[in-house]
């Protein structure tokens, strides 16, 4: 009872002071997650891709049914972050068979970590990353890994400052265009990186 009341008080203080708040994304948030997924992907990648390829990807990748299926996976975890009571970004992490690639060890994958353009440079990406670290610790993971587009230099630099290094790469197709993701990884124990200011992440 006391713990529950304390949590409510803390959340009230956070909201009143206009600070950011991270919460678990559930089925009731599905339409907000859909809109957020489409907008952040569009902001991040449209300028460097063909219009028809982006439109096709957005139409297929973030449907309500697809996102519901992902949320219902017991080994995937979604979080949304608010800044001054406005929805600002989200995180998706995977463990076990929910990961998009299988690498040796007990790993956690950061599949998506996006911040809306208007809310970048406020440290929100680092806070979502910290939530991923917390999940990894809770699940007993040893490594954190992710895929990042080879042309997304801001994101690559962001992850390098967090201690990630390239271990692999794989190809994927955006419509008719072949592209390459860098696979980056770091040990979970390296969780003390704090001097991060770039928030354009993918």
* Whether 90 is catalytic: no
* Calpha distance 81→24 (Å, rounded): 9
> Are the beta carbons of 34 and 78 closer than 8 angstroms?
no
Compute the C-alpha angle 114/124/156, nearest 5°.
Answer: 55
Q: Which of 57, 82, 83, 159 is catalytic?
A: 159
Closest CA to 181 of 109, 125, 79, 76: 109
* Calpha distance 122→81 (Å, rounded): 12
Neighbour count for residue 132 (Cβ, 10 Å): 22
Query: 13 exposed, middle or buried (CB, 10 Å; 0-12, 13-18, 19+)?
Result: exposed
Catalytic residues: 159
């Amino acid at each position: 009872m006391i713990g529950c009341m304390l949590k409510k008080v803390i959340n009230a203080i956070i909201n009143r002071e206009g600070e950011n708040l991270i919460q678990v994304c559930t089925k009731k948030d599905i339409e907000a997650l859909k809109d957020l997924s489409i907008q952040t992907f569009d902001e991040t990648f449209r300028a460097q891709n063909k219009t028809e390829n982006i439109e096709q990807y957005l139409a297929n990748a973030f449907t309500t049914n697809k996102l519901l299926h992902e949320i219902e996976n017991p080994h995937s975890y979604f979080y949304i972050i608010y800044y001054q009571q406005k929805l600002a970004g989200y995180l998706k992490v995977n463990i076990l068979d929910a990961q998009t690639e299988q690498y040796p060890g007990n790993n956690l994958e950061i599949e998506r970590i996006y911040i809306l353009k208007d809310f970048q440079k406020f440290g929100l990406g680092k806070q979502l990353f910290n939530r991923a670290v917390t999940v990894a610790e809770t699940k007993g993971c040893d490594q954190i890994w992710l895929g990042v587009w080879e042309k997304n230099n801001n994101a690559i630099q962001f992850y390098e400052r967090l201690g990630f290094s390239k271990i692999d790469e794989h190809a994927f197709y955006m419509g008719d265009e072949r592209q390459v993701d860098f696979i980056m990884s770091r040990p979970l124990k390296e969780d003390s990186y704090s001097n991060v200011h770039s928030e354009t992440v993918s």
